[in-house]
A and B are shown apart, each in its own frame.
Chain A
Amino acid sequence: MILGALWSIRTRLTAWYVSVLAILLLIFAVIVFIFQYITLTKQIVHDEMQDAVTVEGLLYFDGSGQLHLRQDYYSRPQSHLLVDRLMEVLDLNGAVLYRSDNLDCQTLGGALTPGEGDSSSNERIVRLRDGSRILTISHIHGMNGRDLVIRLGYSLRPLRDRMWQFVWLLGIALLVTILLAGTTGQWIANKAMSPIGLMTARAEGITANNLHDRLAVTNPRDELGALAAVFNHLLERLEQSFQQLHRFTADASHELRTPLASLRTVGEVALSEPRTAEQYRDAISSILEETQRLNQTIDSLLLLARAEAGNSEATSDDIALAPLVEEVTGMLSVLAEEKSIQLLLQGEMQSSFAVYGERSLLRIALINVLHNAIKFSPRGGIVRITLATNNTESLITVSDQGPGLREDEINSVFERFYRGRENSSSPGNGLGLSIVKLIVERLGGSARFDSVVESGASVVLRLPYNRRN
């Protein structure tokens, strides 16, 4: 199959097709040949039987008891030459009474076998000295009170010649058919495969720079159409993630530049003229604060990359949700207390529902969601954390009484570096919710804002049951 691997699909298809056809034709030819051979042989035996009966009437004893064959009935003398029968007549003792001249004194089958020509015609092939094969029959005939065994045979040479002719004919017909089939097969394969060639050429031309290009779908219902459609779908997703990456890189450099600019400006201003020690201290402190902001942005980006890479088997485990929710709530409760916000844990907090993944990542996701809710809640408000589970999934809902989201914001809040309308000044780097979304999606779940909530915002995290297999 090494050669096969080098051939193009269309050549391979044609080769397979032609081989199958050749084998079928060959089987057919062999069957026809055998059938023809048997039929013709039977015909010869039949002719010989008839001839034997004819000969019976032509045999006669002359006065000296010598057996003769009457040959004077030919209308034309040369007709005699047409008779190519070989004949031998023996009495039951095995003595040869008559032998045709063309046997040239050779016996047609040697000594008598018991019962020869009596119950059956004893068809057999006798080989003469010159190598020719004679299909011989025996026939018992009573004459003048004596039983004679008439042996009569025809040479098989004409049959052999005819069969050879037949084989040649079959061979040529086979060859022509296969050649024709091969050519048409190749043509059909070419025609069937030509869209692939077009697709290949088109796909080859698609690079990162023209990802918007698509393959032409000639017939969406056939296999190649489906292939092209799938390929186009792949291109679309690729293009999307490429754009996303592009936007992300741009956003990230912007986010990193902003603190850098502030670092630089603070430093430059501090050094632009002599200042008091207090002022220098202030500038350096400001620079340090800014480096922390920078560092947090980088940490968040790394966290995104880590979540993007998926849960690593080594650090993954079954995470019971209820204790985790409780733990996160406990950790952030001090922030809520500070704003007199009530944190209400509701739902199935006794549930043992668990998901399989990296606990530290899911914990960060929950912390981010709850932190957000506390951040946007008005002083004295209520934040509800509800855990609901069934056999297949669990829902963690975090609702606040804050300003809520506009319809058009519901999806964009999960985008990286997105900041709400008025709170571009609020602390945070706009990565929190995109980290949440990524982490939850990596666990096979989803994160969304409930759009039917009338006041405040409500985040719903759906986590499927995905325990370790």
Chain B
Amino acid sequence: MDGRARILIIEDDRKLSAALVTGIEGAGYEVKAASSAEEGFFLVHRLQPDLILLDLTLPQRNGLDILQQLRQEGADVRVLILTSHNTIEDRVAGLKTGADDYMGKPFSFPELIARIEALLRRVLPASPRRLTIGDLDLDSASRSAWRNGQKLDLTAREFDLLFYLSKNRGRTVSREMLARDVWQETSRYTPIDNVIDVQMARLRKKVDDPFRVKLLQTIRGIGFCLQEP
């Protein structure tokens, strides 16, 4: 045992499962995959994983049954449901059965990693008061930001956006995450994507344009990332 958190993926779509294994391993976890409920159960008891990514529509057995049984056995494991059944009712049913989190397919991979990290951390870290990335400084109390000691003139929304990106420094943040966490939108639709893009362009104009080192990057097709180059 090497101290890395163990993650078990129970998902019958082999392609998705394989991509998840590669991706999550790349993020530094020990990953095993099961393609059926039975195999999943077997691995749960053998591996004692810290977290399970659970698909709900499995052959022969519903994912919620598995979850229910796990909870009845009192297994101490975090469960993140991944499913294409994505209505509010499905969500509520999943969380009631004992899931810790719920993500609808298709999901954004960076967000999945962020959620996995959050679940494994168990205790939410207090939001830092001050953040520093390169020559960018942020103070959440006064809601101000500086670059190279120079105060940036940001709107409230721009500050929230920059702060969120800074908290996730080095990690790609998807539009879904921004819509939900910065704009507090429950669903994503075309106008909100436009709003995010425009807001991002304006933020970039203030944070990056006047300076030589560019911190904000657009990762095409995925989202945005704030990091030192």
Contact = CB atoms under 8 A, between A and B. Distances in A.
Nearest to B185: A331
Interface string A266-283: 000000000000000010
A335 B195 contact: yes
B194 interface: yes
A155 to B, nearest CB: 93
B115 to A, nearest CB: 18
Contacts of B194: 335, 371, 427
A8 interface: no
Nearest to A293: B190
A289 B175 CA distance: 12
A285 B221 contact: yes
A331 B190 contact: no
A287 B106 CA distance: 14
Interface stretch (A131-139, A221-229, A360-368, A386-394): A360-368
B222 interface: yes
Interface stretch (A15-23, A197-205, A294-302, A455-463): A294-302
B60 interface: no
- The dominant DSSP class at the B interface is helix
A94 interface: no
Contacts of B195: 331-332, 334-335
B221 A335 contact: no
B26 interface: no
A29 to B, nearest CB: 71
Nearest to A292: B221
B191 A334 contact: no
A427 to B, nearest CB: 7
B168 interface: no
Interface string A160-200: 00000000000000000000000000000000000000000
A367 to B, nearest CB: 5
B157 interface: yes
Nearest to B175: A292
B188 A299 contact: yes
A334 B193 CA distance: 12
Contacts of A291: 106, 221
A296 B222 contact: no
A289 B221 contact: yes
- The dominant DSSP class at the A interface is helix
Between B190, B219, B221, the greatest number of chain A beta carbons within 10 A of the residue's beta carbon is seen for B190
A285 B194 CA distance: 18
B202 A288 contact: no
B199 A371 contact: no
Contacts of A332: 191, 195
Nearest to A284: B221
Contacts of A338: 198, 201-202
B183 interface: yes
Given A287-B221, A288-B221, A338-B198, A296 B190 contact: yes
A296 B189 contact: yes
Given A331-B183, A334-B198, A338-B198, A368 B191 contact: yes
A315 B195 CA distance: 26
A338 B191 CA distance: 14
Contacts of B187: 299, 303, 360, 364
Nearest to B188: A299
Interface string B179-207: 00001001111111111001101100000
A295 B188 CA distance: 10
Given A289-B220, A331-B183, A428 B202 contact: no
Interface in A356-393: 360, 364, 367-368, 371
A418 to B, nearest CB: 15
A429 B190 contact: yes
A371 B220 contact: no
A367 B189 contact: yes
B122 to A, nearest CB: 31
A117 interface: no
Contact of A371 (B88, B175, B190, B219): B190
A335 B190 contact: no
Contacts of B175: 292
A351 interface: no
Contacts of A284: 221
10 contacts: A286-B220, A287-B221, A331-B192, A334-B157, A338-B198, A338-B201, A338-B202, A367-B189, A367-B192, A368-B189
Interface of A: 282, 284-289, 291-292, 295-296, 299-300, 303, 315, 331-332, 334-335, 338, 360, 364, 367-368, 371, 427-429, 432
